[in-house]
Each structure stands twice: as C-alpha cells, then as structure tokens.
Structure 1
C-alpha cells in the first residue's frame, strides 16, 4: 500500500513539474522537440509494422498458391490412379469372362 502511495505521489509530482516547465518558453521548446521525436518514432514504427504486414501477407499468399498447386496435382494423381484401377478392373473382368 505504501508503494502505491509513492507511485501516485510520483505521478502527481510529474504532472506538476511538467506544468511548471511548460510555462517557460524554453520548456515549451523542449516539449515541442520531444513531441516531434515521439511523432517521428511512431511514424517509423507504423511504417515498419506495415512493411512487416505486407511481407507476411506475401508469404501467406505464396503458401496458398503452393498448397493449391499441390492439391491440384494430388487430385490429378488420384484421378489417374482411379482411371488406371478402373481400366485394370475392366481388363481383369474381360479376361475372366473370355476364359470361361
């Protein structure tokens, strides 16, 4: 409970100090520079986030294309195997019926 009290006192003291510094023109200049740097930092972070998002989206799109291509190949192979099995069954049936 004591640490919570000191935490609240620290926050209140920070606000009071910021208010007093902001009254001075030099303090306003410092806050303006700080605000500009924070804005620049957030802009860079936003750009980096969007670049990473685009990169991951491209990777996911490539993975979807590869998966789709592989699925099409598997479906084609299964179809060919079924056709071959059907042909073999027909040939076996013909062989059984002609040998009787």
Structure 2
C-alpha cells in the first residue's frame, strides 16, 4: 500500500511539473530551481574532489614515512647483525 502511494506521488509530481512547465512563469521557476540544484551539485563535487586530494596527500605522506621507517629499521638491523658477527668472530679468535 505504501509503495502504491509512493508511485502515485511520483506520478502526480511529474504531471504537476509538466503543467507548471507549460506556463512561462512556471517555466522560469523550474529553470531557476534547476540552476540552483546544478550550482549545489557542482559545489558538492568540488568539495569532494578537494577532500579527495587532501586525503591523497596524507596517504602519500604516510606511505613515504613508512618507507623511510622501514629503510631505517632495515639499516639498523643490518648494523646490529654486522656488530653481532664481528663480536662473534672476536670471541672465536
């Protein structure tokens, strides 16, 4: 039953919009509403793309920091291994 009312509401909205669009004043009103909706969606799209760019920059910074930390850790581990091998050789001698 709710679906029927929903569909009837959509159909009535289309009929009403068609009738309003036939009148020159109604056509102007609908054109203004369409322009405002377009402006709103453009602003939302711009804001989304700006946030997406910010997040991409943050992700790139984190990726670079993680790669640097991994390189530093690998170098430290290599140095520790070299020190351990040198110490082991000295003990063996």
- TM-score bin (small chain): over 0.9
Report the alpha carbon displacement of residue 85 of structure 1 after superposing the two structures with TM: 0.4
The alignment yields a C-alpha RMSD, in angstroms, of: 0.7
TM-score (norm 1): 0.90
Structure 1 match to 2:75? 76
Report the alpha carbon displacement of residue 32 of structure 1 after superposing the two structures with TM: 0.6
CA distance in 2: counterparts of 1:62 and 1:90, whole angstroms: 42
Structure 1 match to 2:24? 25
Greater Cα radius of gyration, structure 1 or 2: 1
Structure 2 match to 1:93? 92
TM-score (norm 2): 0.96
* Deviations 1:45-80, CA, capped at 9 Å, x for gaps: 110010000000000000011101100110010000
Which sections of structure 1, spanning at least 5 residues, go unmatched?
Answer: 95-100
User: Which consecutive segments of 4 or more residues in structure 1 shift more than 4 A?
Assistant: none
Count of matched residue positions in the alignment of Structure 1 and Structure 2: 93
Structure 2 match to 1:3? 2
CA distance in 1: counterparts of 2:90 and 2:66, whole angstroms: 36
Which sections of structure 2, spanning at least 5 residues, go unmatched?
Answer: none
